[in-house]
Structure 1
Amino acid sequence: MKTAAYLLLFLCSTLVFSQNDKLFEQGNALYNQGKYAEAIEKYTAILDSGNHSEALYFNLANAHYKLNNIAPSIYFYEKALLLAPQDKTIQNNMAFAKNMTIDAIDVVPQTGLSKFIKSFTNIMSFDSWAKTSIVFVLCFVALFLIYYFAYSSFNKRLAFIGSFISLVLVLLSLAFTFHKFNSDKNNRPAIVFAQESEVKNEPNLRSEIAFRLHEGTKVQVLDTLNNWKKIKLADGKTGWIDSADIKLLNDFSY
C-alpha cells in the first residue's frame, strides 16, 4: 500500500511539474508577443500551484513593469532577489522599476562596527554559518585529541595553538550564526500596494496622519495589531499602516 501511495505521489508531482513547465513556456511566448496581461495569468497559475523560483518572479516582474504596474513589478523583483541576491540583471531591472515610484526616502547609512558586522554576517546564510560552526567544532575536537595523545612537545604545541584558534573560530562563527538568525527573524520587508496610503501615528482610524506613502515603496514591518502594521522606513520614520495596503515579501505562498 505504501509503495502504491508513493508511486501515486511521484506521478502527481511529475504531472504538476510538467504542467508548470508548459505554463511557463506559454507565459514566455505570450510575453514575447507583447501580451503581458495574458503572460501574467500563466505565471500566476504556476504560483497558485505552490511552485516558485527567481526566474518565475523575474518574468512576472518584467510583465508587470511593461504594464506600468509599479507595486507588483517591484514586489516580484524583490522576491526574485530574495532567492538570487547577487543577480545583477534583477538588480538593474528593479532600479528601472523604482524610478516609477513617487516617494523619495533617504537611506540612513550605517557606519563603523555595525556596518562591518552586518556586511560580514550577510556573506553567508544562517544554514551556512551553522555548518561552518560545526566544521570548526570538529576541527577543535580533532586538534585537542591530537594534543592530548601526542608525545612530541612540538606536536603538542602545534595542536594546542591549532585547537585554541579553532575554539576562537567556533565562538565567532556561533556569534555570527545567532546574529544572522535574529537578523533574518526581524527582517520583515513589505511593499506598499495601495496607490496612496495614510500612515497613522497610532493603530486606529481616528489617529493623526504621520505621513503618506505611495505604491512601490519598500517598508519594514515591526509589529502587528489587529488590522494594522507598524512600519519603519529607510530614513527611520515609523507609523501604523492598514495591513491591506502592503504585501510582505517573505511570504512565498503569494
Structure 2
Amino acid sequence: MKWALAILLTSLGLLAKDRAASPFTAGNAAFHAGEFEAAITNYQTQVDSGLVSAPLFFNLANAAYRTNRLGLAIYNYRRAAELAPRDAAIARNLAMARDAVHNGSPPKAGVIDRLTGFFTRNEWALLAGVPLTLWLVWLAVIHISPTCEPWMGLARPVLGTLALLLLCLATLAHDRQSDTRWVVVQEETAARFGPVAQAPDKFKWFDGAELRVNQVRDGWVEATDATDRTGWVSTEAVLHAGLKAPSRAFPVVLGLVGLGLIAAWGTRRLLRY
C-alpha cells in the first residue's frame, strides 16, 4: 500500500512539473512579462506538439498582435475561432486586427458562412449524427416489429430529411472551414501575373491580407482577395492550413447522399413488389 501511494505521489509530482514546464505555461509567463517574441516562440512550440486549444491560438494571436505581426495574429485568431466560434473576445480581437491591416478589406461573411461558422466541425458532425442514428433505430424497430410502421410512418420523412440537411451542412462547414486560412505574413508582397518570379507585378498585398486560394502550383498560389483582385504569390508569403487547393468535398458528398437516397427508395419499391 505504501509503495502504491509513493508511486501515485511521484506520478502526480512529475505531472505537475511537466504541466508547469509546458510551452503554453512558459508562453503565458513571457506574455505577462512583456516578452512577446519569447511568448510567440513558446506558444508555437506548443502548437507544433499537436496539443492545441482555442486559448492557445488566442494567446498566440494576442502576442503576435502586440509585435505588429498582423498576418500571424489574424491567422491564429481565425484558428481560435474555429475551435470556439461563439467566443466574443476572439471575434472582437479578430475585428481589431483586421482594422489595422494596411489597405485591408476583410472578407465579408455571407449567410452560409455565418450559418456554418456558428458551430465547430465536430459540433456539426454530432448534430448530423443524432437524426441519422434515430432514423437507423426507426428502421430496426419496424424490421423487428412491422406492426409499428403505421403509427411511426411520420418519423421516416422527418428524420430522413433532417439527417440529410444536417449532413449537408456538416460537410459544407468542413469544406468552408478547411480552406479559408490563407493570410499574408510578409510586410508586403507583390501579386504577380504568373507563377514565376520573373512575372510582372500586378499590385501589392500587405501583412494581414486574407486570401481565397484558387490553385497551387510549384511553390506559388493563385489567390483572390475580398475585393476580387487575383494574383500569384509565393507560398512563403502566406500562412495556410495546408498546402492544397480548395476541396470539392461538398458537391461530392451531396451527390453520394442523393444516390444513396435514390437507391434506398428504389430498393424499398422493389421489395414491395
Match status 1:180 vs 2:173:
yes
| Seq. identity, % | 23
Report if the CA contact (8 A) 2:125-2:170 is conserved.
yes
Between the aligned partners of 2:117 and 2:109, the Cα distance in structure 1 is: 16
Match status 1:191 vs 2:183:
yes
Hey, what does 1:47 align to over in structure 2?
Answer: 47
Call closer, same or farther: CA 1:75–1:135 in 2, change over 3 Å: closer
2:230 aligned residue (219, 235, 238): 238
The runs of 4+ residues in structure 1 deviating greater than 6 Å are 14-17
Match status 1:32 vs 2:32:
yes
Shift of 1:247: 1.0
Call closer, same or farther: CA 1:207–1:55 in 2, change over 3 Å: same
RMSD (Å), alpha carbons: 3.2
Report if the CA contact (8 A) 2:215-2:222 is conserved.
yes
TM-score, normalising length: structure 2: 0.69
Shift of 1:73: 2.5
Call closer, same or farther: CA 1:225–1:46 in 2, change over 3 Å: same
Match status 1:161 vs 2:161:
no
Shift of 1:118: 4.3
One-letter code of the match for 2:164? L
Between the aligned partners of 2:240 and 2:48, the Cα distance in structure 1 is: 17
Shift of 1:50: 3.8
Q: Report the number of matched residues.
A: 230
The runs of 5 or more residues in structure 2 that have no matched partner are: 1-10, 244-273
Hey, what does 1:137 align to over in structure 2?
Answer: 132
Between the aligned partners of 1:53 and 1:133, the Cα distance in structure 2 is: 24
Hey, what does 1:5 align to over in structure 2?
Answer: none
More deviation, 142-151/176-185: 142-151
Between the aligned partners of 1:158 and 1:234, the Cα distance in structure 2 is: 52
Between the aligned partners of 1:156 and 1:45, the Cα distance in structure 2 is: 57
Report if the CA contact (8 A) 1:147-1:160 is conserved.
no
Between the aligned partners of 1:119 and 1:94, the Cα distance in structure 2 is: 15
